[in-house]
Amino acid sequence: MNFTGILIAAGIVAAVGIFVGIFLGIAGIAFKVKTDPREEQVLSALPGNNCGGCGYPGCSGLASAICKGEAPVNACPVGGDPVGRKIAEIMGVEAAESEKLVAYVACKGDCEKAGVDYEYVGAEDCRMLEFVPNGGPKKCNNGCLGFGSCVKACPFDAIHVINGVAVVDKEKCKACGKCVAACPKNLISLIPYKSKFVVGCSSKDKGPVTMKACSVGCIGCGICVKNCPKGAITLVDNHAVINQEKCVGCGICATKCPKKIIIKEN
């Protein structure tokens, strides 16, 4: 190859490079996605946990959704009202006061109260126990397994297994919902922080079966339903459920409950 050929090849490569550079520059300008300048401000106001409790992919996803009007300014469960008010100020709107929620584990069948069918030795992960006999070693097939899948999922160290049952620290809980998703027994739900009385059982078994499995299990007797003056309690799948919006905290249900499984939270 002579020197002229080398120069021609180099010139062609340089020309192609210049063309591609100009094309990409024009394309970058033409197809540039315009972002709301408030998005960075909203993102900086969010706590940055990226827990997904808001239903969006991290804090950046929520910030984008808020600026597009797809999410309310107080959508962050971790930041709560203080963050909601700050974002509302950035967006130039008023923030509706949101009710603080916390996770609650509807099971009180600890090692002393719940019976066991066999000794389990294996992977300590609640989600794995659906593959073992009766869905776990406890006699109650609906109760907390106590192997802490919810503990591992919580990014705020707000839930721990105590004496075989998961217990939530209300003051640390941010209601991100990770523990709710992690529980294979669907025992965990988000309830108002100011809930007055709660039912510490989710057993779907009939009364006689529940009584043999756990000394504090709800037997679905309906005494609480009959005695509630506000009609705040119903029986669902053989266990009592309290409507927190109707409950006035009179405590009659807790007094009348023969298993003493209706508990005052505050």
Rounded Cα distance between 153 and 70, Å, is 27
pTM for the full model?
Answer: 0.78
In angstroms, what CA-CA distances link 248 with 19, 136, 244, 264? 74, 37, 8, 12
pLDDT class for 31, splitting at 50, 70, 90? low
- Structure-block tokens of residue 255: 């007094």
Contacts of 59 by beta carbon, 8 Å cutoff, 6+ apart? 43, 46, 47, 48, 49, 50, 76
Sign of the torsion angle spanned by Cα atoms 51, 55, 57, 59? negative
Q: Is the pLDDT of residue 56 over 70?
A: yes
Do residues 214 and 115 lie in contact, with contact meaning Cβ atoms separated by under 8 Å?
yes
Q: Is the pLDDT of residue 26 over 80?
A: no
Strands 188-192 and 101-105: antiparallel
Q: 77: which residues sit within 8 A by CB, 6+ positions away? A: 53, 54, 101, 174, 175, 176, 177
CATH fold match for the domains 38-91 and 195-266? no
Q: How far apart are CA 80 and CA 56, in angstroms?
A: 16
Fold annotation for 38-91: 3-methyladenine DNA Glycosylase II; Chain A, domain 3 (1.10.15)
| Residue 27 token pair | 């394309």
DSSP helix, strand, coil percent of the chain (3-state; round to 5): 35, 15, 50
Band of the pLDDT at 2, cuts 50, 70, 90? low
Q: Which CATH number fits domain 195-266: 3.40.50.2000, 3.10.180.10, 3.30.70.20, 3.40.50.620?
A: 3.30.70.20
Q: Are 111 and 163 in contact (CB under 8 A)?
A: yes
Range scoring the smallest mean pLDDT among 44-48, 165-169, 227-231: 44-48
Highest mean pLDDT among 17-21, 233-237, 261-265: 233-237
Q: Which residues contact 60 (CB under 8 A, 6 or more apart)?
A: 43
Q: Residue ranges per domain, the chain?
A: 38-91, 99-193, 195-266
The CATH classification number of 99-193 equals: 3.30.70.20
Q: Using DSSP bridges, classify how beta strands 197-199 and 233-236 pair: parallel, antiparallel or unpaired.
A: unpaired
DSSP for residue 147: S
3: confidence class by pLDDT, cuts 50, 70, 90: low
Query: What are 160's strand-pairing partners?
Result: 167
